[in-house]
Amino acid sequence: MRIIDLNKNGSEHDQDSSNLLQNEAFARLGTLIDRQLADLAKAHFVPPSGKELTYLRSHQSILIEGGRGSGKTTFLLNALHGLAGVTNIWANDLSRNLHVLPVIDPTLIETKEHIIIVIISLIDAALDDLRSAPDADRSKVDEARTEMAEGLGLLDGIGKATPFGEEWEDATWIMSRGLRKAAKGRLFEVKFQKYIYEALKVLNKTAFVLAFDDVDTNFELGRTILETIRKYLTSPQLVLMISGDLELYGRLVRRNIYDTFGDAIMKYDPSVIRNDRTGTSDAIRELEEQYLLKIVPPQNRIAMLSLGGILQTVSADEIGVIPSGGVKQEPLQQWASIHLRRLLLEKKISSEGKSTVHPFFELISREHLRLVIGYLRALGNQNTIFARRAIFTVFETRLRLAGIDPLELAHATSNDVLLITFRWLVSRDEPVSLGRFSVPSNADDGIVIHCLALAIAQSLEGSPTGCLKTLLTLNLPISMMQRGRYTQQKVRKAMLEFIWDDASPDLLNVAGRIGSIARLNSGDSRASNIGNMEASCFGSVGTKKTETRTSILKQMFEVSKTPQGGIKSVSELDTNMKPKDPAFSAQGWVRNLMKDATIAQMSANRGIVWFSLDDLIGRCGPFGSLLDLISYDRFNYRGEQHSSVSALSLLAAITKILAAEDIHNLDAIALTSIIPAFVPGDETSAIGQLPPEDEPLADDEDDADAPQANASTEFTEFLESLKAWHQFSRQYAQGGSLSDVTMAELSPSNLSRISERIHDQLVALDDEVTAKWKTGHILHRQITNVLHALLASTSGITGRLEAPKSSDRPFVHALRRVKSDQASAFHPLAAIIISCPLVWAFLNPDEHYAASGSTTDFLRKEVTIALNEFQISKGSNEVPFDSKWLEPPTISIAIGRANAANPRIVKQNGFFDLLNVVPRYYPTVRR
């Protein structure tokens, strides 16, 4: 079992050999040292005398190779303690033949201190320790030290700059001492080997172990050390270990070569040597290669494996972790993945009940060990806020390189975090891919995405409003950037500034702006005028304020041939409406009017059989506030004002209601501003010659003078239902009354999956809509597509799912799969949205099976069963779900002329049939 003990710092050695992480590296090191000792024993080594024509010059340095933070220092410390016999580990058989000298760190050596002097002082210190060999004869080692000392003055960096001085001019001095001094200097390497040999005899050892840590990081001494190794540290009785990055060693060597070549060669040689011959750069690379091959032979290089590399060589069960403050070891991958998902609000359990390995752990495990261990320490903090902030600190350098201030990210508000994330994603080449908050192959992007996801998760934790807000202000706009002109970076930046025009954007405003941006999908001059576009556009339906009688009769009521004298009454309109497809008929409102004989004889004008959206809002009394919540006004490029109803605005309204402490006045939540035109570039502002709006009917009245329906008990009852739902929903939020229930929270990656499914289904729905679809029908389908996407993406449903484009049947099937599949769950956030009374006020209250393969009763029944089972498994009876929330409210509509003193009132179940008689926009080319 290999253990990462997070309670230890990187400089501590481990007493237990089974805990060592780099076991393969230790085994390789032991093999190399054992081979070197065996060669010494086989050859019965004695040091050269200096009289030989040639002698053995051994270059067997062992390179502990790895980048910064890869665990080289920790490995060296554990290796030296093992070779010294301090710990009971892998080197027991070697330690009795080795004397380990203290590790040399070049960064701690004084500039004027020569490395040879440092080494000699370490050996002398070992000899001076009487415990090493109290009875040994030290005369020969003292003699060898004296002989060696005579040549020290000739070494670069020791003694005078001119070793022989002016006395070299004296012939007598030359013959008596000068030549002897020169010989001592030339034979310094031999004398140094003899000194090592005699010192080891005193210590009764076979070899010294000499380790250099991070030679490559000291450019001043690093060059001297490498040259010292090449020229003097050639005794086979020296086990040399050096650590560092081979690339940095290459830079040290190249610097030396540049100095050797000189400025003249470096400046003029490339121009002298022709292109077809080897140039200076090739020569330098070859010299560098040969130098490093000599100093650190390839067979003596030991690479520090990353954690990911180790996991490829051993079973994941063989690597454990002891968390900070703990004593019990746990499986590393499982422990890290559990805490990763805890901080990211992800919950993913395998069929065996174990946490599956998180893909980000696989990515981070490929990084150097110092970074990984720092990340693991931060990950294990039980306080999620402090854990996330600690992770930002670990990755501070990566975040700053990405243009993100980690301190700002750690202490930013939820709005600031969303805006920081939005800006960073927009600046990237593939914002949609990165916006999924999955794990990209690029480690730098992966780390930044991980940190941004953690920052976002902070505001999502136990917060359904935070989840829905993030979905609307970040995920959906990013999902839109995968098609058409939205892939252009300047358009994406314009979208960002358009949606985030305020530091704390109003969600209803955001929903309206998303609908306005989506209307630029055609790419031609028609995009500049909402009147020439399709009504259904990415979750919104564009409505018209004025319309001609001919268009109303033909497009809304499908009157193919107007009788002579025209249609004057509601009953005549009902008579002349041809048999309709019940799925796409506006006759529901007309049939309701026909129930009253007096109303049936009233003139079939606006205000009775059809309404503009603004007119309808005024005629609904207090229920007009519901229409206000899901509608918005916008300007087109000509400055004309238009109104739209929107399923996304419905989602935004639910979010705002959830965020409120109490529900008193829905009018206070409604959007009051008008959405401006979106102009991402100069080329989109050229609108050309546009056709005028249709002329209004002569008997149309001003919307401002529409009669008002009186307040009714029906609205009070609806408001009470909404308040009960509000209390039911807040149980599943942080600080709610339930402590042992799954919170209505989602991870950033889950939200991105929801947004992409919503985006794809709404775009596909736009292509499905034909000219015979009415405003209410379109809105109904948009709402059920949003609900279906939310349910399917949060409930663990796998496989291909059909979207409810023309029928509610796919939505019913999804509900049945959720309640029957024990491996999946009805997510609290989906339960909250689907059970909202505001949703059911706009759905078709009476859809027939023949129309779409489903009925409203089927849908309501399946929702009721699913929500009841959800409450049994996860909820509480303190604020129970009430199936009455799924019933549409009864709305009183004031009809007739605006100047009527006592307007007639017609009661209607929900807004579905009412919106079907609100004129919408149609494309120029009918389908």
Q: Which amino acid is at 24?
A: E
Report phi then psi at 157, rounded to 5.
Answer: 95, 0
Tokens linked to 188: 């310094």
Residue 154's SS3 state is helix
Query: ∠31-35-41 over CA atoms, to 5°?
Result: 145
Helix (H, G, I), strand (E, B) or coil at 690: coil
Residue 323 has pLDDT above 60, yes or no: yes
Kindly report, residue by residue over 3-30, the tens digit of the pLDDT: 888 887 655 545 454 456 777 788 888 8
pTM above 0.85, yes or no: no
CB 837 within 8 A of CB 885: yes
* Pairing between β-strand 536-537 and β-strand 540-543 as defined by DSSP bridges: antiparallel
Mean pLDDT of the 237-255 span? 80
Q: Does residue 789 carry a pLDDT above 90?
A: yes
Nearest CA to 181 among 218, 150, 146? 150
Please state, in angstroms and as integers, the Cα–Cα distance from residue 206 to each residue in 200, 239, 631, following that order. Answer: 6, 10, 89
Cβ–Cβ < 8 Å for 122, 195: no
| Interval 256-312: pLDDT, tens | 676 666 665 655 565 555 554 456 666 677 776 777 777 888 898 888 877 777 777
Element housing 866 (H / E): helix 856-874
- C-beta separation of 339 from 380 below 8 A: yes
Q: Which helix (H) or strand (E) holds 498?
A: helix 489-499
Which strands sit side by side in the sheet containing 330-331, from one edge to the other?
Answer: 2-5, 319-322, 330-331
DSSP per-residue letters across 58-88: ---PEEEE--TTSSHHHHHHHHHHHHTTSSB
H or E stretch covering 443? helix 443-460
Confidence of residue 133 (pLDDT cuts 50, 70, 90): low
Model confidence pLDDT, tens digit, residues 850-867? 555 667 788 888 899 888
pLDDT at 453 > cutoff 90: yes
- HEC string of 211-234 equals EECCHHHCHHHHHHHHHHHHHCCC
Residue 106's pLDDT is what? 76
What does the block give as tokens for 5? 């003990």
CB of 340 within 8 A of CB of 400? Answer: no
Q: How confident is the model at residue 682 (pLDDT cuts 50, 70, 90)?
A: very low
pLDDT at res. 632: 92
Number of Cβ atoms within 10 Å of the Cβ of 493: 14
- Specify which residues 63 forms β-bridges with: 242, 301
C-beta of residue 715 within 8 angstroms of C-beta of residue 436: no
pLDDT at 556: 83
Looking at residue 694, what is its pLDDT? 44
Query: What integer pLDDT is reported at residue 925 of this predicted model?
Result: 45
Of 230-244, 313-327, 480-494, 646-660, the range with the lowest mean pLDDT is 313-327
Determine the 3-state secondary structure of 644 from DSSP: strand
Residue 64 sits at φ, ψ, to 5 deg, of: -90, 100
Interval 397-447: pLDDT, tens: 999 999 999 999 999 999 999 999 999 999 998 999 999 999 998 889 999
pLDDT in tens, 816-828: 888 765 545 789 9
In this structure, are residues 295 and 304 in contact, taking their beta carbons and an 8 Å threshold? no
Does pLDDT of 313 surpass 90?
Answer: no
Least confident of 197-201, 379-383, 703-707, 874-878: 703-707
CA–CA gap between residue 747 and residue 257 (Å, rounded):
55
Distance from C-alpha of 141 to C-alpha of 198, rounded to nearest angstrom? 5
The H-or-E segment that residue 331 falls in is: strand 330-331
Q: Residue 697: what pLDDT?
A: 44
Q: What is the largest CA-CA distance in the chain?
A: 143
Element (DSSP H or E) covering residue 268: helix 246-272
Phi/psi class of residue 893: alpha, beta or left (left: φ > 0; alpha: ψ in -120 to 50)? beta
Of the candidate ranges 377-386, 466-475, 635-644, the one whose mean pLDDT is the lowest: 635-644
Q: What is the average pLDDT across 474-490? A: 88
Is the pLDDT at 656 greater than 90? The verdict is: yes
Burial class (CB within 10 angstroms; exposed 0-12, middle 13-18, buried 19+) of 798: exposed
Residues whose CB falls within 8 Å of the CB of residue 767, separated by 6 or more in sequence, listed in order: none
Q: Look up residue 472 and give its DSSP letter.
A: I
DSSP letter at 609? T
Report the DSSP pairing between strands 98-100 and 62-65. unpaired
Closest CA relative to residue 27, chosen from 37, 17, 36: 17
d(CA 301, CA 241): 10
Please report which confidence band the pLDDT of residue 152 belongs to, taking 50, 70 and 90 as the band edges. Answer: confident
pLDDT value at residue 837: 97
Pairing state between β 2-5 and 319-322: parallel
Residue 758 to residues 372, 538, 607, 752, 855, Cα–Cα distance (Å): 37, 9, 35, 10, 23
Q: Which helix (H) or strand (E) holds 320?
A: strand 319-322
Helices within 695-808 (DSSP H only): 713-730, 748-768, 775-794
Tell me what pLDDT residue 24 has.
77
Q: Label residue 229 by pLDDT band (50, 70, 90).
A: confident
Q: Which two tokens stand for residue 636?
A: 């087109």
pLDDT digits (tens, 9 = 90+) for 356-407: 889 999 899 888 888 888 999 999 998 999 999 999 999 999 999 999 999 9
Helix (H) or strand (E) holding 242: strand 238-244
For residue 579, what pLDDT is reported? Answer: 64
**Both structure tokens of 271:** 């121009």
- How many other β-carbons are positioned within 10 Å of the β-carbon of residue 483? 13
Residue at token pair 């992800």: 346
pLDDT above 70: percentage of residues in the chain? 78
What span, in angstroms and rounded, lies between the C-alpha atoms of 223 and 289? 15
**DSSP output for 126-180:** HHH-TTT-TT---HHHHHHHHHHHTTGGGSTTSS-SSSS-GGGG-HHHIIIIIHH
Q: What is the mean pLDDT of residues 232-249?
A: 84
Taking the CA atoms of residue 608, residue 696, residue 771 and residue 529 in that order, the dihedral angle to the nearest 10 degrees is -140
Q: Is a pLDDT exceeding 50 seen at residue 521?
A: no
Of 175-189, 514-528, 587-601, the range with the highest mean pLDDT is: 587-601
Q: Which candidate, 29, 41, 121, 123, places its Cα nearest to that of 83?
A: 29
What value, to the nearest 5°, has the Cα angle with vertex 324 and ends 323 and 326?
A: 65
Cα–Cα dist 745/830, whole Å: 10
